[in-house]
Structure 1
Amino acid sequence: MTVRRTLIVRLGQLLRRRGQAARGLRLTLHVNGGATWEISHRMSEASAHHEDLRPLACRLTDPPASGAAG
């Protein structure tokens, strides 16, 4: 299991255990020197299942397609 998949599965388990659901995911990177980079995506419906969270997490962490603005 990849690190990303492991994190997504654990997030889904944590949300379900707490009786919560995610409406979106946000990735924030704090780099040396104080700069911050952030990207987020929202889902059409809230979910606590890793099958729903996985595509969203992939969009956050995969590099943009060739020719896409970044």
Structure 2
Amino acid sequence: MAKQDKPPMTKAFLSAVAALFGVQSDKNRQQDFAQSSPWPFILAGIIVLGCFVGFLLGVTWLVTHLEMV
């Protein structure tokens, strides 16, 4: 039985997260660029980046609005 690949969106999200943190391997990057359509990776990148920015905004808000103990 052949090894099944991950669904395109799952692979795109994993690639986007790895690329965001700078740990994307060259092999995976080449596989990503060999895909027929870039749209799953573009969509995953926008969503992952939006979540990351939202996380940073949330942490910043918490730090600036908590009273010092």
Same topology, TM > 0.5: no
* Higher-RCO chain (CA-CA 8 Å, sequence separation at least 6): 2
Larger Rg: 2
In terms of fraction of residues, the more helix-rich structure is: 2
Give the TM-score of the pair, scaled to structure 1: 0.30
Give the TM-score of the pair, scaled to structure 2: 0.30
In terms of fraction of residues, the more strand-rich structure is: 1
